């Protein structure tokens, strides 16, 4: 019997198939109902998202319980491309637990000070980014999303002057 000249194995995929896009897992974690509130708002705007888990840290919880929940969430969302923790407060228990877990693997990142704009933009962009690129872009996005009415009105006036040629 002659060997097949077809390089595609029985799986139906070429032997060195390149992934079409990345799928970073996202774990939102914060005090009280922060995480579930962020997830609910995200789902309302974007629809339910794959590989995103919210973990609340209510006052009645413990650090050990939160760590176990985060470890279980890692198992659910890690598709092999990395995981990013989005936490609410620098130095808080959710941040510390996420940091401990992130330091165990090179493809994990922690971003803190999460806001809704950051969550929405980064969830939509995550298919094109490595974990470290996600972290860098998230920091820019978070800063961009923090502004005030006075600053936005001044920016709009300045832009309209430029457009008018003044």
Say what the pLDDT of residue 81 is.
94
CATH class in words for 25-144: alpha beta
Say what the pLDDT of residue 20 is.
59
Q: What is the mean pLDDT of each run of 10 residues along the chain (166 residues)?
A: 46 47 92 99 97 98 99 97 97 99 97 96 93 94 90 92 75
DSSP the chain: -PPP---S-TTSS-TTPPPSS---EEEEEEEBTHHHHHHHHHHHHH---TTEEEEEE-TT--HHHHHHHHHHHHHHH--SS-EEEEESSTTSHHHHHHHHHHTTSTTEEEEES--HHHHHHHHHHGGG--HHHHHHHHHHHHHHT---HHHHHHHHHHHHHHHHT-
Q: What is the pTM of this model?
A: 0.82
Q: Kindly list the domain boundaries of the chain, sorted by start residue.
A: 25-144
């Amino acid at each position: 019997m002659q060997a097949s000249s077809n390089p595609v194995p029985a799986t139906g995929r070429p032997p060195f198939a390149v992934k079409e896009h990345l799928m970073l897992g996202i774990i939102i974690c914060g005090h009280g109902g922060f995480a579930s509130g962020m997830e609910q708002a995200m789902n309302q705007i974007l629809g339910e998202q794959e590989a995103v888990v919210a973990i609340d840290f209510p006052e009645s919880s413990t650090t050990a319980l939160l760590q176990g929940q985060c470890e279980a969430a890692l198992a659910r969302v890690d598709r092999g491309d990395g995981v990013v923790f989005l936490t609410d407060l620098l130095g808080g228990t959710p941040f510390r637990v996420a940091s401990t877990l992130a330091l165990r693997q090179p493809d994990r990142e922690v971003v803190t000070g999460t806001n809704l704009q950051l969550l929405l933009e980064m969830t939509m962009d995550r298919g094109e980014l490595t974990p470290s690129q996600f972290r860098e872009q998230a920091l820019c996005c978070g800063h961009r999303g923090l502004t005030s009415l006075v600053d936005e009105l001044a920016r709009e006036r300045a832009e309209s002057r430029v457009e008018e040629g003044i």
